[in-house]
Amino acid sequence: MDCVERHRKVLTGEIPDRVPVAPSLLVRPVRRAGLRQRDYHTNPDVLARTQVEHCDAYDFDGMIISSDNVIMYEALGGRIVFQDDDSYPFWTDPLVRDGTDLARLKVPDPERDGRMPVLLEASRLAARAVGRRRFIMTNIDSGPFQLASTLMGMEHAMVGLAQEPALMKEVLAFCAEVAITYGQAMARTGCHALQFGESTAAVVGRRLYEEIIWPEDRRVIAELRKTDVKVFLHVCGDSSSIMDLLADSGADCLEIDSKVDLAWAKDTVAGKLTLKGNVDTGAFVSMPRAEFMELCRRTVEAGKRGGRFILCGGCEVPPDTPDEILHGMRRSADLFGTYKNSA
């Protein structure tokens, strides 16, 4: 069974031969390749080659094409900075302070604006390079609220949810259009899945998430699923309080953090979508291989019941993770993740 078929079965509720392994590797591949961050984030050939080679080195089932979380902000006219050639890019000033600022913004053209074309080309290059050898998930940066938090600044966005809900609904509706447009373009690159993050969704409170953010997340997911690629939703932190809403988001897969009890989450989502996670990222650098593989075993056994589970960390794999730990994660799928009755 190849990696694409293994993922397809997991994402559609069928039982594969074993649990797929697809950790999120961003900074680590750049460092291991001896590259500068600026080159990785601005050169599609470098980005694609770095991710493909790093995934091949550990024989993971899935890989991610991803850069940073200011792709949309930059495409909308925001100024980003690299502190030096080996630093991650950061956004500078908020673009939206009120409705007047919002009215000035236009949905970007993914083939022309900012570094969106860089990510589109990187996804195309990766798809041509690996074919069905790996499952390719391409990150489209941000969900509506995560993008709004960048455009407005986190504090302003959080206050806006509570005190200016009408404005926030307008902002989120615009941000949803940006995500849909970018995602539709990315789906045409040959990738197998799209991922976006609502990293702070769990901290805004259930009522505000359900009333203001969730409808736009659902709209983005519904539109992107029409493209015939799978849609992954990433939420950081303890998302237990909104797990039932996330299960009904329409996403094919929900990426959960280690703060969520995986066995409980499996019961809560009740097979509505696939779960991906959720090994504690701190364990990648704090545990010896034997202990780490035992943690992977417990994670796999909690997640694989009934299928619909992909093994990875709760978030990005730390850059200083030893090789033996990544090889151990891959090996754990063979040892603990098989399904006896699979074809």
Mean pLDDT of 112-138: 97
Does residue 305 register a pLDDT over 70? yes
Please report the pLDDT score of residue 146 as a whole number.
97
pLDDT value of position 343: 40
List pLDDT tens digits, range 52-111: 999 999 999 999 999 999 999 999 999 999 998 888 899 999 999 988 999 999 999 999
Residue environment code for 82-117, b if the CB has 16+ CB neighbours within 10 A, otherwise e: eeeeeebbebeebbbeeeeebeebebbebeebbbbb
Are 231 and 255 in contact by the 8 Å Cβ rule? The answer is no
Residues 6+ apart with CB under 8 A from 328: 289, 292, 293, 296
Task: Work out the average pLDDT over 33-50.
Answer: 97
pLDDT at 87: 87
Confidence of residue 209 (pLDDT cuts 50, 70, 90): very high
Query: 28-273, what's its fold?
Result: TIM Barrel (3.20.20)
Average pLDDT, the chain: 96
> Looking at residue 266, what is its pLDDT?
97
**pTM, two decimal places:** 0.96
Does residue 342 carry a pLDDT above 80? no
* Percent composition of the chain: helix, strand, coil (DSSP 3-state, to 5): 50, 15, 35
* CA separation, residue 186 to residues 24, 145, 180, 312 (Å): 19, 20, 10, 23
Identify the residue with better confidence: 121 or 99: 121
- What's the confidence (pLDDT) of residue 341? 58
CA nearest to 235, candidates 247, 223, 224 = 247
Strands in the chain per DSSP E = 62-65, 80-82, 89-91, 135-142, 193-197, 230-234, 253-255, 274-279, 309-313
| pLDDT value at residue 99 | 87
Q: What is the pLDDT of residues 165-187, one digit of tens each?
A: 999 999 999 999 999 999 999 99
The whole-number average pLDDT for the span 284-292 is 97
CA dist list (Å): 194 to 56, 231, 251, 301, 337: 21, 5, 10, 27, 25
Strands in 253-255's sheet, in edge-to-edge order, are 62-65, 135-142, 193-197, 230-234, 253-255, 274-279, 309-313
What's the pLDDT tens digit per position in 210-239?
999 999 999 999 999 999 999 999 999 999
State residue 150's pLDDT score. 96
Amino acid 42: pLDDT? 97
Going by DSSP bridges, is the β-strand pair 253-255/135-142 parallel, antiparallel, or unpaired? unpaired
